[in-house]
Amino acid sequence: MTMITEFDTSLPSFRQVQNLIQQAVTIQIKLLTGDILTGRIIWQDSQCMCLMDTSSQQTTVWKHAIAYIQPQEY
């Protein structure tokens, strides 16, 4: 039996990521491994988000692997 996790859209973290998607903000995602990914979040679900870099390459990132997300500094 597969268990589907529902979105809790009342959570501030969900709303923050949705705002980043809607505003097409370039962000940095630091992973627990220390790697840093840069791009725009184009979608999220309950377990993952997809980051698109400047060359339009999409990377699916598991949320449990993320240490933090912050806007890109120029």
Q: Give the C-alpha separation, 71 to 29, whole Å.
A: 9
Each domain of the chain, given as residue ranges in start order, spans 12-71
Average pLDDT, the chain: 90
CATH architecture of 12-71: Roll (2.30)
Q: What pLDDT sits at residue 35?
A: 97
Model confidence pLDDT, tens digit, residues 27-58: 999 999 999 999 999 999 999 999 999 999 99
Enumerate residues 6+ apart whose C-beta is below 8 A from 69: 17, 20, 27, 28, 29, 30
Which strand (E) or helix (H) includes residue 46?
none
Q: Tell me if the pTM is above 0.85.
A: no
